[in-house]
Amino acid sequence: LDPVSVIVAKRDGHALDDAQIAWAVDAYTRGEMAPEQMSALLMAILLRGMDRREIATWTRAMIESGSRMDFSGLRRDGRALPTVDKHSTGGVGDKITLPLAPLVASFGVAVPQLSGRGLGHTGGTLDKLESIPGWRADVPIDEMTAQLESVGAVVCAANPDLAPADRLLYALRDVTGTVESIPMLAASIMSKKIAEGTGALVLDVKVGSGAFLPEIERARELADTMVELGERAGVATSALLTDMDQPLGRAAGNAVEVAESVEVLAGGGPADVVELTVALAAEMLTLAGLPDADPAAHLADGRAMDTWRAMIAAQGGDPDAPLPRARHTDTVTATETGRVRRVDARAVGDAAWRLGAGRSRPGADVQAEAGVIVHVATGDQVRPGTPLFTLHTRTPERFDAARAALTGAVTLADPESDPVAAPRVIERVRF
């Protein structure tokens, strides 16, 4: 096999056979296929697409590029522990993993949550948790197993040998305008989740301006593709399509999102964050064999909070330590009167990123204290001077860029208009 014949086959709209796919993924991972050749193939895949067999073969090749984890032997009090994980396709203010993992674990289910760092305007779970003094993202596999058996939840970085082909391909997609290919998104996400060895998986597929695939038809196609990949690999998988047109909750950034998550774990917090946390927990617990579990009860009575505290402490964090606070804040206010129709998620994500919550180069540091607090939500009435956003940063020279990103972020309707309800959960996708 040679790279050019594989590129030409896809360029001309043919399905690639299993041998071509296995060869291309392996050759690129071993450095035998040049980046410019894989870039051309990725662009051909983006433009021509792949059928479900091709996507499944590509996913398998990425899994086989590294090692697989196995949690089937987890025990507590002599009883086997079911495992269930959640993956979000990424959004703005999406801190759901923080309350969700301990909430689900508080029902006696193991949650091995391998998480990532921020990407573009979307935040990363590990970056958020690292704002807790002492907390470590790197957990060796034997400690991970012990923590799952004792505490029930671990949120940590993936080990470098989990689907290494994805790490290489992801970096290339990021710089070649090919991230949005549905086959590549599905294979990237599912290769890591299948290699992780979870028994069940719930996918939170985002729709709207703050998502990688803003249109519902494409988000649905991604969800369908991933659910089929999971089920065919023996992982009980379902997906929820959820709204990411508006930021989730009131906080977007790092420490500010941890603070909001702790409010949810204490039985409070913004209604939309609670709604989505409870919906995803119910879906995860159903797949883990507990369809009658009542997640809202464990938020109200403190059991989810107890598991959170144990989970943070097990990874070296101090759950009682004060979170970093920004030295500089600046408030953006309304200039007109009206009823809020929409707060644009993408604009809020870009502003948080510009304030220092995200990275502009791989491996750069993020500011734990940087972020945006959103003071208004759909349906609220505003007048000139009403606070819309408070910007937090260590570097006040970034305020102008963040303010520019937020220009036009709040759409107002007539003050007399009826409020329009925007439910977070749009639909459920099963195999």
Contacts 24+ apart (CB under 8 A), 65-68: 65/25, 65/26, 65/29, 65/163, 65/164, 65/165, 65/166, 66/161, 66/162, 66/163, 66/164, 66/165, 66/195, 67/161, 67/162, 67/195, 68/162, 68/194, 68/195, 68/196, 68/197
CB atoms within 10 A of CB 248: 30
Would strands 236-243 and 200-207 be described as parallel, antiparallel, or unpaired?
Answer: parallel
| 138 in catalytic set | no
In the residue annotation, 173 being an active-site residue is answered as yes
Should residue 99 be labelled a site residue for ligand URA when binding is judged by CB under 6 A?
Answer: no
Q: Say whether 87 is catalytic.
A: yes
**Which whole-number Å values give the CA distances from 228 to 45, 56, 188, 426, in the listed order?**
19, 9, 14, 20
- Least Å distance, CB 360 to ligand URA, is 18
Residue 189 sits in the site that holds ligand URA (CB under 6 A): yes
Write the CB contacts of 313 (distance below 8 Å, at least 6 apart in sequence). Answer: 319
The reply on whether position 185 binds ligand URA by CB under 6 A is yes
Residue 27 engages ligand URA in binding (rule: CB under 6 A): no
Q: Provide the minimum distance between the beta carbon of 250 and ligand URA in the complex, in angstroms, as a whole number.
A: 24
66, 82, 90, 270: which one binds ligand URA (CB under 6 A) = 90
188 forms part of the interface with ligand URA (CB under 6 A): yes
Which positions from 158 through 177 interact with ligand URA, judged by CB under 6 A?
Answer: 170
Choices 74-82, 92-100, 182-190, 239-247 (CB under 6 A): range interacting with ligand URA: 182-190
Q: Which is nearer to ligand URA, 89 or 106 (CB)?
A: 89
Of all residues in this chain, which one has the CB nearest to ligand URA in the complex? 188
Supply the minimum distance, in Å, between the C-beta of residue 305 and ligand URA.
29
Q: How far apart are CA 342 and CA 384, in angstroms?
A: 17
**Least distance CB 89 / ligand URA (angstroms):** 6
CA 273 to chain centroid: 14
Residues that bind ligand URA (CB under 6 A): 89-90, 170, 185, 188-189
Active-site amino acid positions = 87, 166, 173, 188, 192
